Amino acid sequence: MSRFHLRSPLVLTLGLAAVLVLTACGDDGAGTTSQAPGSGTSKDAALAAKVPADIASDGKLVVGTDASYAPSEFIDKDGKTVVGFDADLAKALGQVLGLTVELQNAPFDSLVEGVKSGKFELGMSSFTVNTEREAVVDMVSYYTAGTSWAVAAGNPTGLTPDNACGKKVAVQKGTVQVDDITARSKACTDSGKQQIAIAQYSLQSEATSAVVTGKDDAVLADSPVVAYAVKQTAGKLQLAGDAYDSAPYGIAVPKGLGDYTAAIQGAVQKLIDDGTYLKVLKQWGVEGGAVTKAEVNPV
């Protein structure tokens, strides 16, 4: 992700959820993974042999994720199942390694530390790969995303990313988009214009809802998240400008476990090569961020 946020225990009201329809309950059926695209993926014995015995011994792979970021990872309409393209890819990755994946929902800012401490055997939650994360965990790249903006349909304020001075802009707390919009606001005041009124929300769905309901003028977030929000809000939002600042997403792996990291990298590459990866992305409509090579610590 361009994500790096502190997720608070706030719960969306039913009214908010109804407005956003961000739980993938739309007509495209993306919210159900009873037969995920990767469900037929076969085990690769050579890669499975690289998984440490203490991880493989119980037959499962415990993956930490913050399920509040549709369409990457979020809670399905049953109120408990984690779904999304990250969830589907994680399950397919587990099949390559001969392991059942257990997705555990946890606050985003606890995930890297959870991988480091051994609470989670992997972390997969739209992590943007950066040097800070690579210093404490190994990162296996598997996707690329940038930042996008959305405004109310028709763009009534005429807002663009480079012309947001004096406007109210929503963003999720702790994401790299906070730094982005803060810098843009400073550029406004440095040039003698009004600052941007930055509204920070604990959940991305709250930030999006603020634009849908007219409380704020625009929202910015990771490009697949904004594109999905535009689709799921049934014409209430539209994109404003093009995506920018693309960067890789990475799977967090405990630091220093060379064979294990190689197994994860190899499993992701296998999914790319056999077509499973692209099938998953296409099901969620996010194939625009597809990569052809999985790399270890690419930044």
Confidence check: pLDDT of 117 > 80: yes
Share of the chain above pLDDT 90, in %: 76
Q: Of the ranges 11-20, 27-36, 283-292, which is most confident?
A: 283-292
- Cα separation, 131 vs 128, whole angstroms: 10
Query: Could you tell me if 268 and 294 are in contact, meaning their C-beta atoms sit under 8 angstroms apart?
Result: yes
Residues 6+ apart with CB under 8 A from 37: 88, 92, 276, 279, 280, 282, 283
- Cα separation, 207 vs 96, whole angstroms: 37
Q: What pLDDT band is residue 77 in, cutting at 50, 70 and 90? A: very high
Confidence check: pLDDT of 56 > 90: yes
Could you tell me how many residues make up the chain? Answer: 299
Q: What is the mean pLDDT of residues 81-86?
A: 97
Do 14-145+246-289 and 147-245 fold alike per CATH?
yes
Q: What is the mean pLDDT of residues 249-264?
A: 97
Q: What pLDDT band is residue 53 in, cutting at 50, 70 and 90? A: very high
**Cβ-count burial of 116 within 10 angstroms (0-12 exposed, 13-18 middle, 19+ buried)?**
middle
**Cβ-count burial of 131 within 10 angstroms (0-12 exposed, 13-18 middle, 19+ buried)?**
exposed
Residue 193: predicted pLDDT: 97
Tokens 């405990």 identify what position? 254
Confidence check: pLDDT of 7 > 80: no
Confidence check: pLDDT of 35 > 90: no
The least confident of 31-45, 77-91, 267-281 is: 31-45
Confidence check: pLDDT of 12 > 50: no
Helix (H) or strand (E) run with residue 65 in it: strand 60-65
Segments making up each domain of the chain, as ranges: 14-145+246-289, 147-245
pLDDT tens figures, 134-166? 999 999 999 999 999 999 999 999 999 999 999
* Angle made by CA atoms 24, 126, 74, in degrees to the nearest 5: 25
Q: Is the peptide bond before 9 cis (omega within 30 degrees of 0)?
A: no
Confidence check: pLDDT of 33 > 80: no
pLDDT tens figures, 170-217? 998 878 899 999 999 999 999 999 999 999 998 888 999 999 999 999
In three-state secondary structure terms, 21 is coil
Closest among 207, 165, 169 to 186, alpha carbons compared: 165
The topology (CATH level 3) of 147-245 is D-Maltodextrin-Binding Protein; domain 2 (3.40.190)
Confidence check: pLDDT of 8 > 70: no
Residue 14: predicted pLDDT: 31
CA distances (Å), origin 94, targets 42, 46, 121: 10, 14, 12
**Cβ-count burial of 193 within 10 angstroms (0-12 exposed, 13-18 middle, 19+ buried)?**
middle
C-beta atoms surrounding 20 within 10 Å: 22
Confidence check: pLDDT of 71 > 60: yes
- Cα separation, 233 vs 20, whole angstroms: 6
251's tokens:
């799977």
The topology (CATH level 3) of 14-145+246-289 is D-Maltodextrin-Binding Protein; domain 2 (3.40.190)
